[in-house]
Amino acid sequence: MNLLVVIIALWLRHRGLFLEPAATIGQLIRRWRDMWRQRGIREGWSPVVVLGLAVLLPALLLAILLALPAGLWQTVLTGIAGVLVLGQVLLDQRMPSVSSRYQTIWQNREWPADSMGQSGLLASDLVAESELAPARQELVEDALRELFAPLFWFLVLGPVGVLVYYLLTLMAEGDDGMASSLAQRMLHFAEWPVARVLALSFALAGDFTATWQYLQEQLLNRDVPAVEFLDTLAGHAQPVLLRTSVDIPVATTLSLALLATQGLLQRTLVLWVVLLALHTLLWF
C-alpha cells in the first residue's frame, strides 16, 4: 500500500495536478497555525502548549480516525489518508521553483564577461561560484523539506508521521516567538535521520568515494544543520567545475551547474522508489 500511495503522490507532483487546491488548503492550515500562535502570545501560553495544540492535536485526531475501522477498511482508509496527506505536503511547494527563479535572475544579470570580454572571465568565474552556492543550498533545502523528509516520515510512521512533520515545518516558518524557535529545534532532530539516509543515497547516486569520505567524518555530528550537511554532500556527490567562456554565457553555465545538482536529486528519488519497490516485493 505504501508503494502505491508514494507513486500516486509523486505522479501528482510531477504532473502538477491540484496545485491550486493544495495551495488553498495550505493557506487554511497556515491560518490554523497563526490562530494558535496569536492565542499563545495573547494568553501567555508555554511554547510547548502552543506546539502541542497546533501540531499534535491534528495528528492525534487523524490517528484516532485511522484506528476506528478494522481489517480491510482500516487498510483502505489508511491508504486514502496517505494519498490525501502526502499529496498535500508534496504539492504545497514554493512557486516558482528554485531552478526557474535563479535562471531568470541569472539571465537578467549583467556579468563582467559581458562587458569586459576575455579579461572579465576570471571575475565571472569568481562571481559564478558565489552565485551558485546559495542556489544549490536552496535547491537542496526544498528537496529535503518538500520531498524527501515527507516521504521518509510517511514510510516510517504513515500519514500521522508526515502530518506532524508538515505542521512542524509550518510552525518553524518565520520568527514569531518561542513557539517557532521550539519548532525549529524539533525540526532539527526530525531531519537528522532523514539527512543521514539521504546522504547515503547521495553516495550511491553520485560520486561515492568523495561523498563517503565526508560522510564518515560527519555522520554522527548533530550540530550541523541538515540543510548545510546535505548541501556540502551534494557538492561532493555531484562536483561542478565552473569555467566561463566568451562563447557560453555565464547564466547558461550556472543553469547547467544547478541542473546537475537537480539531476543528483532526481537520481536519488529514483533510488528511493526502486528500494521501496524491492522492499514491497520481498515483503510479500
Tens digits of per-residue pLDDT, 2-44?
999 999 999 999 998 899 999 999 999 999 999 999 999 899 8
Q: What is the largest CA-CA distance in the chain?
A: 73
159: preceding bond cis by omega (within 30 degrees): no
What CA–CA distance (Å, rounded) separates 129 from 34? 38
Mean of pLDDT over the chain: 88
Cell of 206: 553520485
Q: Tell me, what's the pLDDT at 121?
A: 47
- The Cα-based distances of 163 to 55, 159, 277 in angstroms read 8, 6, 23
Q: Does residue 268 contact residue 201 with C-beta atoms inside 8 Å?
A: yes
* pLDDT of residue 204 exceeding 90: yes
Cell of 253: 553555465
- Please state, as a whole number, how many other Cβ atoms lie within 10 Å of the Cβ of residue 95: 9
* pLDDT of residue 66 exceeding 90: yes
Give backbone dihedrals phi and psi of 269, rounded to 5 degrees, phi first: -65, -45
Per-residue confidence band for 151, with pLDDT thresholds at 50, 70 and 90: very high
Helix axes 57-67, 72-91, angle to 10 degrees: 150
Q: What's the rounded mean pLDDT across residues 94-115?
A: 78
Per-residue confidence band for 132, with pLDDT thresholds at 50, 70 and 90: confident
pTM for this model (two decimals): 0.91
Query: Going by C-beta distance under 8 Å and a sequence separation of 6 or more, which residues neighbour residue 213?
Result: 236
Give the single-character DSSP code of 174. Answer: S
Q: Tell me, what's the pLDDT at 193?
A: 95
Q: What's the rounded mean pLDDT across residues 105-121?
A: 63
* pLDDT of residue 246 exceeding 50: yes
Helix axes 121-143, 98-107, angle to 10 degrees: 160
Q: Which residue has the higher pLDDT, 142 or 219?
A: 142
Give percent of the chain above pLDDT 90.
63
Per-residue confidence band for 177, with pLDDT thresholds at 50, 70 and 90: confident
Q: Tell me, what's the pLDDT at 122?
A: 46
Least confidently predicted of 3-12, 18-27, 179-188, 234-243:
234-243
What CA–CA distance (Å, rounded) separates 92 from 18? 10
* pLDDT of residue 63 exceeding 90: yes
Q: Tell me, what's the pLDDT at 196?
A: 94
Q: What's the rounded mean pLDDT across residues 87-101?
A: 89
Q: What domain range includes position 275?
A: 2-283
Q: What's the rounded mean pLDDT across residues 124-133?
A: 70
Type of residue found at 3: L
Cell of 173: 516558518
Q: What's the rounded mean pLDDT across residues 104-130?
A: 63
Q: What is the tens place of the pLDDT at every residue in 165-174? A: 999 999 998 7
Helix axes 226-237, 178-205, angle to 10 degrees: 20
Q: How many residues comprise the chain?
A: 284
Q: Does residue 82 contact residue 160 with C-beta atoms inside 8 Å?
A: no
- The Cα-based distances of 111 to 104, 106, 118, 270 in angstroms read 14, 9, 12, 36
